[in-house]
Every structure is written in structure tokens, then in C-alpha cells.
């Protein structure tokens, strides 16, 4: 009876050990397969894929060096000024690309500096709304913002608005001329693609006659 009891006890112990090993392996697999989100967004929620533009406010942090750390605004020429390295092109770069540029410049003066670039105010990501809306002005662009969403943010149309004569003026770039895009509110309500709602880009001006 003692021998059988000891045998049963050893078997139980082996089963428990095996179960613990399986649980450990399962946990390791779960951790390795979990999506990695670290580094995808900045501390204020602005994605690293965001392209810096003129007017954006940036916080440049150099680890253990308050003298080189700065809060700067991107100038109309697209550049920022920093100690030691002077003017640096910022507009057109992502925060990670600007960080790499600053690190490369600072390496000339100090060993492998630790640098962070944080967008504290994304002022370049705005569109402008003019004409017959309740609250015309500049509005920040959210993800996939459209003309109708922007008009809704502005409180909607006034009673005198020509809802089918909306124009979006898209500023010229190096590769394209200025565009004038007609938007028909009726077409949007009817679910038509032609002259329907469009996704906005930074710097677009919406005119509601």
C-alpha cells in the first residue's frame, strides 16, 4: 500500500511539473505574438508617421543636457534653430527622421547623444473654413477628416449658404498646381461619388458661398 501511495504521489508531482512547463511555454508564445505598439505614437498621441510642418511646436529633449534642450516653433521656412548646430530642416520630416538628423549633427560635439522629438502642438495640421457657416475659422484636422465633418465642427451652414456650390482650394505644391475642387452637398446626400465629400489635407481652404 505504501509503495502504491508513493508511486501515485510521484506521478502527481510529474503531472504538475509538466502542467507548469506547458503554462510557461504558452505564456512565452503569447508574449512573442502580441502586437508591439511601443514606439508607434508619441507621448501626446501624435503618430511617428506625422509629417512636421511650419507652425508646429516641437520639444527637443537632449538627455542630461538642459542647455541643448529646447521648445521650438517650426519657422515659415521649415527650419528650427538649436544650440551648437544652428538651423535644422524640420518641415517635411517625421519626428523620428528629425531626431536622426539632430543626433547626427550633435555627434560632432558629443558622444552618441540621446535625443527625443515630441510634437506638443500640431498647428500645421489645420484646414480653413470661410463663408456661410456658423463659425468660420481654422480647424485642426483629425484622421480622415472630410468637408462635411469640418462644416459640422463649424456649427453647420447659415440659412444663406449655397450648399451645392462648396469649393475646396488646395494649395500648390512643388509637384502640382493649386486645385479648386467642387463639392456638392446634394451629391453627398444622394451617395454619389462625383463631386461628393472628399478627404481634407493640411492647408485646404473650404469656401461655402
Write down all domains in the chain, each with its CATH number in brackets.
57-121 (3.30.1950.10), 126-208 (3.10.560.10)
User: Rounded distance, CA 151 to CA 146, Å?
Assistant: 9
User: Rounded distance, CA 140 to CA 146, Å?
Assistant: 12
User: Grid coordinates representing 77?
Assistant: 521656412
Alpha-carbon torsion (155, 158, 159, 161), positive or negative:
negative
* Region at 162 (left for phi over 0; alpha for psi -120 to 50; beta for the rest): beta
Contact 150, 188 (CB under 8 A): no
**DSSP 8-state code for residue 124:** T
User: Grid coordinates representing 198?
Assistant: 472628399
Global model pTM greater than 0.85 = no
Q: How confident is the model over 68-85, as pLDDT tens digits?
A: 999 999 998 999 999 999
Per-residue pLDDT of the chain (209 residues; tens, 9 = 90+): 445 555 555 655 555 555 545 554 444 434 443 333 333 344 344 444 678 888 899 999 999 888 899 999 999 899 999 999 989 999 889 899 999 999 999 998 888 789 999 998 888 888 999 999 999 998 888 778 899 999 999 999 999 999 989 999 987 666 668 889 988 888 888 776 555 688 888 889 999 99
Q: How confident is the model over 21-55, as pLDDT tens digits?
A: 555 444 443 444 333 333 334 434 444 467 888 88
- The upper half-sphere exposure of residue 119, i.e. CA atoms within 13 Å in the direction of its Cβ, equals 27
Contact 150, 127 (CB under 8 A): yes
Amino acid at each position: 500500500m505504501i509503495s502504491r501511495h508513493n508511486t501515485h504521489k510521484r506521478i502527481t508531482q510529474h503531472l504538475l511539473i509538466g502542467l507548469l512547463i506547458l503554462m510557461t511555454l504558452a505564456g512565452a508564445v503569447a508574449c512573442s505574438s502580441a502586437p508591439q505598439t511601443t514606439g508607434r505614437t508619441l507621448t501626446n498621441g501624435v503618430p511617428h508617421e506625422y509629417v512636421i510642418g511650419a507652425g508646429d511646436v516641437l520639444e527637443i529633449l537632449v538627455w542630461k543636457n538642459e542647455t541643448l534642450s529646447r521648445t521650438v516653433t517650426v519657422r515659415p521656412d521649415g527650419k528650427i534653430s538649436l544650440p551648437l548646430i544652428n538651423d535644422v530642416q524640420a518641415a517635411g520630416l517625421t519626428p523620428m527622421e528629425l531626431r536622426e538628423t539632430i543626433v547626427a549633427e550633435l555627434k560632432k560635439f558629443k558622444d552618441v547623444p540621446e535625443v527625443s522629438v515630441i510634437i506638443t502642438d500640431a498647428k500645421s495640421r489645420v484646414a480653413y473654413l470661410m463663408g456661410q457657416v456658423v463659425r468660420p475659422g481654422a480647424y485642426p484636422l483629425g484622421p480622415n477628416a472630410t468637408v462635411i465633418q469640418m462644416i459640422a465642427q463649424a456649427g453647420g451652414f447659415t440659412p444663406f449658404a449655397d450648399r451645392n456650390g462648396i469649393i475646396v482650394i488646395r494649395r500648390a505644391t512643388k509637384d502640382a498646381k493649386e486645385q479648386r475642387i467642387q463639392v456638392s452637398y446634394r451629391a453627398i446626400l444622394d451617395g454619389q461619388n462625383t463631386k461628393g465629400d472628399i478627404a481634407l489635407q493640411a492647408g485646404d481652404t473650404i469656401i461655402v458661398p
